[in-house]
Structure 1
Amino acid sequence: MSGRYDVAVVGSGIVGLGAAYAAARRGLRVVVLDRTAEPVGATVRNFGHLCFTPQSGQALTYSLAAREAWLRLARDARFWLRASGTHIVARHEDEQALLAAAAERPAVGFGDGAEIRLLDARETTSAVPVAPGDIVGGAVLPYDLQTDPRSAAAAIVRYLGSLGVEFRMRTAVGQVREGVVQTSRGDVAADTIVVAVNHDIDQLFPELAEADDVLRCSLDMMRVELPLSAPLSAPLLTGWSLIRYSGFATLPEAAAVRARLHAGRPDLAGIDLNQMYTQLPDGSIVVGDSHHRSVSPEPFQSETVADLLLAETEHLFGAPARVIERWQGVYASGRDEFLVAEPAPGVLVLTVTTGIGMTTGLGLTETVLAGRFDTTSTPLSSPLITAEGTR
């Protein structure tokens, strides 16, 4: 392997692709290295729900940048993306109270209108084809987006190739040090190296993974056929989602929702449920999902979890579901939502250590690389962990 690159990216998931995109937009010479033949990890095993509005803190900052990047990429790379917003159904008054509290927060800049619009029960059941029995209200998050992750990732790879990004797939990385990536096909030299390998960070930088308590979170997901009275015009969240996303979960009103759900359905709490749904362009619906954290999750999926997911789906929509596919998703889960580190000069480790990689990954990489390559950029608001410590 001859020549030297401005930027070498290890990993072709959404964070790695985002890093390559941010660098290529700045006219830099970029190579992407991955041991697989194409993206096959968390980037293609998710809902395709770009849930910007329910974030808080640094995740919200990255979401603002990511939304702009997704809209630009969809236009230029020509993949399916819709400005769908997000629908939320409230099935208890405490869930509606939590939505109302979230709607009172100051707007943060996604658009000119309200970022959370409350609905009553009639408006919710008119907008979403759910069984009306226990619906008390809901909300719309108009600035969220939806894509098909299976086609989007491949389209982004093709587009980056057209920008001059070089992809060296089926190339395993054994070690990364200042200026050099050692691979199964020889060394690659680069001025800046971005390591974006998600949960496999413990394979290249185990000390960083251990310091941030990074584990693997495995998810049970499925795709179903569901005879609905009308299509899902947007991703759909429930009360189980509200106690997961930080923009809702950190509000005082979330405590009552969490306590009631966990007390009333310990079986669903036991699988750490996020009950949500997205409909793909072919009409099928992605259903999920459970969460289990460990260093090495077992590959065996319990049919009990699948039964719970299907039962809750059929109860919510009042219709029988037929499973088309099942799969196990895996993503990095850490103490914080992001791991941003520089373990050696010019070696940047960027990992989204929770399940919002598609939502925030493009914003994370744009922000970090702008801070490195743009002389007019403002410094990162999150700390960068270096070999010498936090700065």
Structure 2
Amino acid sequence: MNKKYDLIVIGGGILGTFHAYHALQKGLKVALIEKDAQPLGATVRNFGQVVPSGMDSKWQNYGRESLKIYNHIQNKFDISVRNNGSVYLASNHEEVQLIEELSIINKNNGYESHLLTKAQCLEKYTGLKTDYIKAGLFFPQEITIEPNLMINKLLDYLTTEKELDYLPNTKVIHCDIWDDEVEVETSKGEILKSSKAIVCCGSEFKTLYPTVFAESDLQVTKLQMLQTKPQPNYKLNGSILTGLSIRRYEAFYECPSFKMIKAKEDPNSFEKKWGVHILFKQATDGSIILGDSHEYADAKDIDNLGFDLRNEVDDFMINEAKKIFDLPTYEIQKRWFGIYSQSKENDIFNHTIDQHIHIITGIGGKGMTGSAGFAKENINKIFNFY
């Protein structure tokens, strides 16, 4: 079998799928190859919080563009977008100072946010503990989605309505350049040819280009998350980000007081050791997803992270969550971890081979928020659509 495309995308996660989406929007003929029956990696193992507010200025712009794209798609068909906003909850005067500074930064960026008093936070968020909350910063434009539902609905839409050639359960065994075009061979014996190829899957990157992979600065991060049983007669709107998030998210690095406040923290604390910050999001079944933690290793040493869940990390996150919200139940129905890759030196790993093959991975924790906006710009750049 021989097929010719304008673009072949390897990896059906959110980064690869949105590259395919934007290429199709430009009228290109596109194939998307996914090694599994459906995406199983970081794309579906996250909170589903689209929060440009947590990113530095560059990636906030990508995130804000992503919000427009998600809402545009949602207006065509349901991909589970809920326009319910995000809030950062400050628990002490230092965190209040940081959210006040961030509100000024976002005012200058033209990104809408609203400072909330303690009383407003308690009124808006049922179960929030009065002895925790001091103030909040609310971003009304931000959204939540159900990751697994969103990515599979989007792939179905692109396949049925936009003429995407989607090849799930297909392993790429060879990708190289012949006669000034890309030739991709699959484990099924198919030969696909294209003008350009984009490799967005870390495992394919490792096997197809082992030397480039070995020389890369990629590291992997393992995150633990939990899901409670459905909460009876309880509603929690939007993405809830708390004091530890304020002390961790990149957006706050730009605040004048950030370095001074971080310098006071105990470097040996449990939350520092395991990179814990506490997030809440209510799923469509009424359950609460909470977490998360961060454990790091160089990409080549990914096996060192193991496949187990650290009970002491889960217990710590639950105990911290109980200090913030009084939920009807903290009974846990599901525990899992996700792994994503990120570049140590850059905001994303982007390596080009002979102007035809583009390895684009290592987006880190920015994938759900930033991929749609970044991919739009990147397709324009790769195909000179400017």
What TM-score do you get using the length of structure 1 for normalisation?
A: 0.89
Look up the equivalent residue of 2:280 and give its one-letter code.
Y
Distance 1:120 1:208, change over 3 A: farther
Look up the equivalent residue of 1:308 and give its one-letter code.
F
Aligned to 2:289: 286
Distance 1:63 1:94, change over 3 A: same
Kindly indicate whether residue 369 of structure 2 is the aligned counterpart of residue 359 of structure 1: yes
Choose the corresponding residue for 2:131, options 127, 130, 133.
Answer: 133
Give the superposition deviation at 1:11: 0.3
Look up the equivalent residue of 1:173 and give its one-letter code.
V
Look up the equivalent residue of 1:160 and give its one-letter code.
L
Tell whether the 8 Å contact from 2:90 to 2:246 is kept in structure 1 after alignment.
no
Distance 1:204 1:275, change over 3 A: farther
Distance 2:51 2:198 in 1: 25
Look up the equivalent residue of 2:198 and give its one-letter code.
V
Aligned to 2:312: 304
Tell whether the 8 Å contact from 2:95 to 2:247 is kept in structure 1 after alignment.
no
Give 3-state SS (helix, strand or coil) of 2:360's partner.
strand
Distance 1:209 1:191, change over 3 A: same
Aligned to 1:383: none
Aligned ranges 1:171-250 → 2 under 5 Å: 171-178=170-177, 179-186=182-189, 187-198=191-202, 201-225=205-229, 227=231, 230-250=234-254
Aligned residues: 372
Q: Which runs of 5+ in 1 are unaligned?
A: 378-391
Tell whether the 8 Å contact from 1:94 to 1:256 is kept in structure 2 after alignment.
no
Give 3-state SS (helix, strand or coil) of 2:65's partner.
helix
Look up the equivalent residue of 2:275 and give its one-letter code.
D
Give the superposition deviation at 1:158: 0.5
Distance 1:54 1:160 in 2: 29
Q: Which runs of 5+ in 2 are unaligned?
A: none
Look up the equivalent residue of 2:252 and give its one-letter code.
F
State the Cα deviation string for residues 317-374 of structure 1 (Å, max 9, x = none): 1344011111110100221221122123211122243211010111111101012335
Aligned to 2:98: 98
Aligned to 2:119: 122
Aligned to 1:161: 159
Look up the equivalent residue of 2:338 and give its one-letter code.
G
Look up the equivalent residue of 1:167 and give its one-letter code.
Y
Aligned ranges 1:338-349 → 2 under 5 Å: 338-349=348-359
Give the superposition deviation at 1:59: 1.3
Tell whether the 8 Å contact from 1:194 to 1:350 is kept in structure 2 after alignment.
yes
Give 3-state SS (helix, strand or coil) of 2:42's partner.
coil
Distance 1:177 1:200, change over 3 A: closer
State the Cα deviation string for residues 170-224 of structure 1 (Å, max 9, x = none): 1111232221122212322111111111465333334444444112211111111
Give the superposition deviation at 1:107: 4.1
Give the superposition deviation at 1:281: 1.2
State the Cα deviation string for residues 238-273 of structure 1 (Å, max 9, x = none): 12112322111332322344345546x811221101
Distance 1:240 1:339 in 2: 27
Kindly indicate whether residue 321 of structure 2 is the aligned counterpart of residue 313 of structure 1: yes
Tell whether the 8 Å contact from 2:66 to 2:372 is kept in structure 1 after alignment.
yes
Tell whether the 8 Å contact from 1:195 to 1:350 is kept in structure 2 after alignment.
yes
Distance 1:339 1:213, change over 3 A: same
Choose the corresponding residue for 1:371, options 356, 381, 384.
Answer: 381
RMSD after superposition: 2.1
State the Cα deviation string for residues 59-117 of structure 1 (Å, max 9, x = none): 1232232122111222224221012110111101000100011111154767xxx5221
Give 3-state SS (helix, strand or coil) of 2:364's partner.
coil
Distance 1:101 1:209, change over 3 A: farther
Give the superposition deviation at 1:57: 3.8
Aligned to 1:79: 79
Look up the equivalent residue of 1:324 and give its one-letter code.
Q
Kindly indicate whether residue 337 of structure 2 is the aligned counterpart of residue 328 of structure 1: yes
Question: Runs ≥4 in structure 1, deviation > 6 angstroms?
Answer: none
Identity %: 23
Distance 2:324 2:21 in 1: 40
Kindly indicate whether residue 39 of structure 2 is the aligned counterpart of residue 30 of structure 1: no
Give the superposition deviation at 1:226: 6.7
Tell whether the 8 Å contact from 1:103 to 1:116 is kept in structure 2 after alignment.
yes
State the Cα deviation string for residues 141-162 of structure 1 (Å, max 9, x = none): 1221111112101100110102
Look up the equivalent residue of 2:221 and give its one-letter code.
C
Kindly indicate whether residue 63 of structure 2 is the aligned counterpart of residue 63 of structure 1: yes
Give 3-state SS (helix, strand or coil) of 1:105's partner.
helix
